[in-house]
């Protein structure tokens, strides 16, 4: 069974026989797979009125444990939201009453972002649906393939020095 990546590789082999396009077989497919998975994941977040970044931010606060807060300056480290995009995302969630900004109770001057009681239920429901969706997506692969992909991707990320 040929796919789009096979076609692209064939075209490059024809046009540039001096180059080896074989890495596209993995990297091109992973890139396309990431886009397809993102579409599958964001569709679930949208059912709860959340963008991908908003879901990620709320989930980060929820998994921090009670009182569901993190220092604003460290929040980007716990999410896939960039530091530049973080204030805007937090502002939107504050406006919706799902998070609030507070001052820390210790001697250090720092701001915290805290999940509000009104924010706990939506992220709990969204995360429950998210995990069900991830189980559905994972079940599209035979167990051995999923295990091999998990292990290989962990090694590859480590080699690239990403967490």
Q: Which of 57-61, 107-111, 159-163 has the lowest mean pLDDT?
A: 107-111
Question: Does residue 102 carry a pLDDT above 90?
Answer: no
Percent of the chain with pLDDT over 70: 94
Asked whether residue 109 carries a pLDDT value surpassing 80, the answer given is no
Tokens 């992220």, located at residue: 123
As given in the structure block, the two tokens for residue 28 are 């091109």
Residue 81 contacts residue 74 (beta carbons within 8 Å): no
pLDDT per residue as tens digits for the range 11-45 = 999 999 999 999 999 999 999 999 999 999 999 99
Task: List the Cα angle 21/22/27 in 5-degree steps.
Answer: 95
| pLDDT for the residue numbered 85 | 76
pTM of the model: 0.85
Is it the case that residue 104 has pLDDT exceeding 70? no
Count CB neighbours of 32 within 10 A.
13
CA 99, CA 96: separation in Å to the nearest integer?
Answer: 8
pLDDT of residue 61: 96
């Amino acid at each position: 069974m040929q796919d789009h990546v096979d076609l692209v590789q064939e075209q490059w082999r024809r046009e540039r026989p001096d180059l080896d396009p074989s890495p596209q077989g993995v990297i091109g497919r992973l890139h396309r797979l990431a886009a397809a998975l993102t579409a599958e994941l964001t569709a679930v977040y949208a059912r709860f009125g959340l963008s991908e970044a908003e879901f990620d931010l709320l989930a980060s606060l929820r998994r921090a444990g009670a009182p569901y807060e993190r220092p604003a300056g460290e929040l980007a480290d716990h999410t896939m939201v960039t530091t530049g995009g973080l204030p805007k995302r937090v502002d939107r969630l504050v406006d919706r009453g799902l998070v609030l900004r507070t001052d820390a109770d210790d001697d250090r001057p720092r701001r915290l972002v805290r999940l509000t009681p009104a924010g706990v239920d939506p992220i709990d429901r969204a995360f429950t649906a998210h995990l069900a969706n991830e189980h559905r997506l994972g079940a599209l692969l035979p167990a051995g393939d999923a295990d091999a992909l998990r292990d290989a991707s962990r090694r590859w990320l480590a080699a690239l020095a990403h967490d």
